[in-house]
Amino acid sequence: MHLILFLLFAGFCLAGAINLLLQSHPINSALSLVVVMTSLAVLYLLLGAEFLAAAQIIVYSGAIMVLFTFVVMLLNAGREERTLGSRAARAVGFPAVVVILGVLATLIVHAHGLGVASLSDAITSTEDLSRVLFRELLLPFEVTSILILIAILGAVALARHGDGETPTSEERTSPK
């Protein structure tokens, strides 16, 4: 049953990631990223990491995706121009993808004990995990939140004045 659920949600995760790349509208891409993050949370649940699954849903699928959607709508990103890509990307990219998929297929075919997983004896509690996060890793945690705040302020500043420059008094009073 675990293998079936793993394959199902791994497929959802891959389909969401591919859809994320193929979408032309940024909001649809953000929704595809929510599918990827939620599928990863289910995969964490299957591994027995309930705290990581809950954090994945709350932090990434919830807060970060709301932030992405807010910034995309704030910047008023319309439809993007579609391009066919460069010739170098097509000449190198497609053969590279075929080689990578061939290597992965070979590894999967020759893997022994495929689908066998076991939990280790030392299971970390949520209390131990929170102690490490809020004592030993507090500085990186706070620096990350400050960087996200700076990114939001930068997006607001760019959206307010178009290109980030303050309009002069003549530009504000002159009719367009």
Identify the pLDDT of residue 89.
Answer: 64
pLDDT class of 172 with cuts at 50, 70, 90: low
Those residues with Cβ within 8 angstroms of residue 15's Cβ, 6 or more apart along the chain or in another chain: 35
Predicted confidence (pLDDT) per residue in 51-61, tens digit: 888 888 888 87
Predicted confidence (pLDDT) per residue in 78-126, tens digit: 555 666 666 666 777 778 778 877 877 777 777 665 555 555 556 677 7
Give the alpha-carbon dihedral of 103, 83, 28, 159, to 10 degrees. Answer: 130
Structure tokens belonging to residue 49:
């990491």
Give the alpha-carbon dihedral of 28, 53, 6, 10, to 10 degrees. Answer: 30
Q: Per-residue pLDDT for 3 more than 80?
A: yes
Burial 120-151 (b: 16+ CB within 10 A, else e): eeeeeeeeeeeeeeeeeeeeeeeeeeeeeeee
